């Protein structure tokens, strides 16, 4: 199993687009990617332009398959202000 947290800042005028695109993509990802266990979006309480995408996959191969099949990825990137900060995570035994 592996996890990914992507921190992104969204262009001020693209928040509604970002949330719509993510919601549409989330539905598609969870319905079609068996190796994707979670694909969730959270918004910062301190800065409404900052979001965290929290993703969990059965393994690295599932993550790579997710990346390869990134329908709508370009549309998502057009909403992001700057580079995303991506952290790759391993589960802690008995805590995941």
Task: For the chain, 96 residues long, give each residue's pLDDT as a single digit of tens.
Answer: 999 999 999 999 999 999 999 999 999 999 999 999 999 999 999 999 999 999 999 999 999 999 887 666 788 999 999 999 999 999 999 987
Dihedral of CA 51/67/60/38: which sign?
positive
Domain 2-89 of CATH type 3.30.70.100 = yes
Kindly list the domain boundaries of the chain, sorted by start residue: 2-89
Helices (H), the chain: 15-32, 60-68, 73-77
3-state secondary structure of 89: strand
**Predicted structure pTM score:** 0.90
CA distance 95 to 1: 12
Q: Name 91's Cβ contacts closer than 8 Å, sequence gap at least 6.
A: 1, 2, 3
Closest among 91, 94, 81, 13 to 51, alpha carbons compared: 81
């Amino acid at each position: 199993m592996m996890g990914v947290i992507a921190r992104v800042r969204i262009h001020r005028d693209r928040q509604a687009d970002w949330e719509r695109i993510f919601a549409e993509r989330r539905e598609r990802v969870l319905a079609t990617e068996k190796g994707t266990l979670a694909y969730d979006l959270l918004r910062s309480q301190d800065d409404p332009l900052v979001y965290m995408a929290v993703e969990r996959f059965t393994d690295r191969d599932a993550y790579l398959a997710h990346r390869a099949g990134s329908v709508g990825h370009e549309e998502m990137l057009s909403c992001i202000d700057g580079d995303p900060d991506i952290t790759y995570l391993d589960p802690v035994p008995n805590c995941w």
